[in-house]
Amino acid sequence: MTEAYATIVFLFVLFTLLGSSIWIGLALMGVAWVGMELFTTRPAGDAMITTIWTGASSWTLTALPLFIWMGEILYRTRLSQDMFRGLAPWMRFLPGGLLHTNIAGCTIFAAVSGSSAATLTTVGKMSIPELRQRGYPEYMIVGTLAGAATLGLMIPPSLTLIVYGVSINESIIKLFMAGIIPGLVLAGLFMSYIMFWHFLRPSERPAPEPSMSIGEMLSESRFLIPVLCLVFAVIGSMYFGWATATEAAAVGVIGSLVLAMFQRSLTFSAFLESLMGATRTSAMIALILMGAAFLSLSMGFTGLPRALAAWIDGMDLSPIVLIAALTVFYVILGMFLDGISSVVLTMAIVEPMIRQAGIDVIWFGIFIVVVVEMAQVTPPIGFNLFVLQGMTRHEIGYISKTAIPMVGLMLLMVVILVIWPELATWLPNNIRQ
In whole angstroms, how large is the CA radius of gyration of the chain?
22
DSSP, collapsed to helix, strand or coil, labels residue 303 as coil
The per-residue pLDDT for range 252-311, each reduced to its tens digit, is: 888 888 888 887 777 888 888 888 888 887 787 777 777 777 777 777 676 666 666 566
In angstroms, the CA 343 to CA 125 distance is 29
Q: 116: part of which helix (H) or strand (E)?
A: helix 116-133
Enumerate residues 6+ apart whose C-beta is below 8 A from 12: none
DSSP state of 156: S
Per-residue pLDDT, 191: 93
- Identity of the amino acid at 259: L
- Identity of the amino acid at 422: E
Tell me the pTM: 0.78
In angstroms, the CA 335 to CA 126 distance is 29
Per-residue pLDDT, 338: 67
Q: Are 384 and 117 in contact (CB under 8 A)?
A: yes
Instruction: Name the region of 340 (left: φ>0; alpha: ψ -120 to 50; beta: rest).
Output: alpha
In angstroms, the CA 152 to CA 158 distance is 6
Per-residue pLDDT, 312: 64
Per-residue pLDDT, 306: 63
Instruction: Name the region of 241 (left: φ>0; alpha: ψ -120 to 50; beta: rest).
Output: left
Per-residue pLDDT, 313: 62
The per-residue pLDDT for range 115-131, each reduced to its tens digit, is: 777 777 778 877 888 88
Angle at 297 between CA 292 and CA 298, to 5 degrees: 95
Per-residue pLDDT, 366: 93
What does the pLDDT profile of the chain (433 residues) look like in tens digits? 465 666 677 677 777 776 676 777 787 788 888 877 777 777 777 778 877 777 667 666 777 788 778 877 877 777 767 777 787 787 777 888 888 888 988 888 888 776 777 777 778 877 888 888 888 899 999 999 888 888 877 888 888 888 888 888 888 888 988 999 999 999 999 999 999 999 998 888 887 777 777 777 778 778 788 888 888 888 888 777 788 878 888 888 888 888 888 877 778 888 888 888 888 877 877 777 777 777 777 776 766 666 665 666 667 778 888 888 888 888 877 776 667 777 877 787 788 888 878 889 999 999 998 888 887 787 766 677 777 887 788 887 888 888 889 989 999 999 999 999 999 989 888 775 5
Q: Are 110 and 154 in contact (CB under 8 A)?
A: yes
In angstroms, the CA 394 to CA 156 distance is 30
